[in-house]
Amino acid sequence: MLSGLYAITDDTLLANSRLEQAVEETLTAGCRLIQYRSKLADRDLRLHTAQRLQVLCANHSATLLINDDVELCRKVNAGGVHLGKDDAPIRQARDLLGTDKIIGITCHASVDAAIEAEEAGADYVAFGRFYPSLTKPGASPAPIDVLTEAKARLRIPIVAIGGINAENGASLVKAGADMLAVINAIFADDNVAENTRKLINLFNSSND
């Protein structure tokens, strides 16, 4: 089952020369789910980077997901894709990727949308943002109790995203999040390994 820390890359935080090193640091520290999220226009560069990240993840028995781009996922044989509401429909992505790939979908604050996604074949759903987000400052907020409602109504794993760090993430895990998707609180400074361990400890603490 998908669970734990879910690290997401960001071009504005990680220049291409640093991205691979930073991802290796978070993997070495224990993260087992990486999303390659890139808004670069250079498709060749994105392909090369995704290929390198796929090798890194394989070496650490981790899973690489690709943000938005089903075709890139196919080319590098990544573990799956994460789709937004304006991306390819889930069933279309499933037809292209096959049954063994992970497909996640953003549902913002709508449990009904999450139920529809589950019925369409999604492997996980993501809700948020829960706290002010540096990556998407204009994103609409989601109430924490949407996680509790989703946990009661869904069978697939639930991701919380948006402004999450080691100080505020525990409340989201307690409310029902199976995974915490994190960008800045992992990659915004040079302490990637330490940041990763602090976030992973949120899940260990919740099981005490």
Least Cα distance to 30 among 187, 207, 162, 198 occurs for 198
Task: Take residue 154 and report the two structure tokens written for it.
Answer: 């869904």
Split at pLDDT 50, 70, 90, the class of 85 is: confident
Q: Does 163 have pLDDT greater than 70?
A: yes
For 36, list phi and psi in degrees, rounded to 5. -85, 110
Q: Which domains does the chain have, with CATH numbers?
A: 4-206 (3.20.20.70)
Tokens of 97: 């990727």
3-state SS class at 66: strand
Residue listed under structure tokens 């820390």? 5
Q: What is the pLDDT of residues 50-74, one digit of tens each?
A: 999 999 999 999 999 999 999 999 9
Query: From CA 59, how far away is CA 140, in angstroms rounded?
Result: 37
Q: How far apart are the first and last CA of the chain?
A: 20
- The identity of residue 155, as a single letter, is R
Q: Bigger pLDDT: 71 or 14?
A: 71
Average confidence (pLDDT) over 155-159: 98
Mean pLDDT of 183-188: 97
> What residues contact 185, with CB distance under 8 A and at least 6 apart?
164, 165, 166, 195, 199
pLDDT digits (tens, 9 = 90+) for 95-140: 999 999 999 999 999 999 999 999 999 999 999 999 988 888 878 8
Which residue in 96, 94, 64, 68 sits closest to 82, CA to CA?
A: 68
pLDDT value of position 208: 56
- Output 175 or 206, whichever has higher pLDDT: 175
Contacts for 107 with CB less than 8 Å, ≥ 6 apart = 113, 114, 117, 125, 126, 127
**What DSSP string runs through 29-55?**
TT--EEEE----S-HHHHHHHHHHHHH
Looking at per-residue pLDDT, the higher value among 140 and 142 belongs to: 142
